[in-house]
Amino acid sequence: MRMFAQQEIDPATLVGLGIAIVILIVLMVIFGIFARYFRLWIQCVLTKAGITIWDLLGMTFRKVNPTVIVRSKIMAVQAGITDEMGLTSRALEAHYLAGGNVPLVVRALIAAQKAKIVDLSFREATASDLAGRNVLEAVQTSVYPKVIDCPPRGSGKPSLDAMAKNGIQLKVRARVTVRANLQQLIGGATEETIVARVGEGIVSAIGSAETHAHVLENPDMISKAVLARKLDSQTAFKIVSIDIADIDVGENIGARLQADQAEADTRVARAQAEGRRAAAVACEQEMTAAIEDSRAKVVDAEAEVPKAMSEAFRTGKLGVLDYFKLRNVQADTEMRKSIASSAAAGGRPS
């Protein structure tokens, strides 16, 4: 033991040992990288996806899932979508880091290419995906038109109610066939807008009809009137057709409205008549009060006559003969008043 401890280690040996350790570490790192990404790299090489082992390593440092990018790129290459169309690994990584659904966008582009829809580019697809739209569903709707019920199923009203000019109510259920408008997918209105516009158009078309019988004879007039209004503008859909699924006759709303109006007019007339009657009663009371006031004045005037006669006697201005003449005139006046009162009362004079 002492002999080995006393021996000195050659510096060249130490350098060689250090180099060997470094080479071993490098080989272990390379082996670890190949062990992790070898399967993905082999897939990229065999499918000519154009993703190197260093790209896979960089994805790890950029916190990108290499499996998602590799599989999406392989799907695109196998479908014939090349880098010239904008579908590069860098673009896929950027969309992944932005929070987009990379496999969904790639499947949408593949479906659009297979259906020969040249209006959808990778840029538009990623923008629609980031805007919250389901790009794959939009492409499928563009290939296979979608049928929308109007009014929608599960809504509060089972049908669209409208009234013709003759006052008859019609209840209509329609089916709208739409196709996705990929150019208006961003910023375009959704199905709710289509349903609302179609419902408004149906109500307007029925309301402009002279009679409900005309609508029942020609239900297609509703479809033609609605399609002529270009209701799919500024929406994410194109209206293919509008079909009237069912149409029923409802209530006679016009007659009911006329009856309600007549009842309201009757109430107004009664109120006006009651007002006139109240005014007449008030006027009668006023005239009665005026008559009583006149009678009071007459009584006051008659009470002054004896005073005037006595005063005339004292002063000598009135003689006995004149007094009796006045008494006769007064009696005659009283008799005439009694006759007039009896005649007014409908009785005989006493």
Domain range annotation of the chain: 2-112
Helix (H, G, I), strand (E, B) or coil at 347: coil
Distance CA 249, CA 166 (A): 13
pLDDT score of 319: 56
Q: Give pLDDT tens digits for 127-177.
A: 888 888 888 888 888 778 888 888 888 777 888 888 888 888 888 888 888
Distance CA 117, CA 95 (A): 22
Using pLDDT thresholds of 50, 70 and 90, give the confidence band for residue 251.
confident
**Distance from the Cα of residue 180 to its chain's centroid:** 22
Using pLDDT thresholds of 50, 70 and 90, give the confidence band for residue 343.
low
- Closest-CA residue to 65 (of 39, 97, 98): 97
In terms of pLDDT, which residue wins out, 318 or 211? Answer: 211
Secondary structure of 39-83 as H, E, C letters: HHHHHHHHHCCCCCHHHHHHHHHCCCCHHHHHHHHHHHHHCCCCH
The answer to whether residue 245 scores a pLDDT higher than 70 is yes
Check: pTM over 0.85? Answer yes or no.
no
Q: Give pLDDT tens digits for 266-299.
A: 899 999 998 888 888 888 888 888 888 887 777 7
- Closest-CA residue to 92 (of 81, 103, 79): 103
**Distance from the Cα of residue 74 to its chain's centroid:** 45
Using pLDDT thresholds of 50, 70 and 90, give the confidence band for residue 53.
confident
Q: Which residues, 6 or more positions from 342, have their beta carbon under 8 angstroms from its beta carbon?
A: 348, 349, 350
Q: Which residues, 6 or more positions from 141, have their beta carbon under 8 angstroms from its beta carbon?
A: 178, 179, 180, 237
Distance CA 70, CA 75 (A): 9
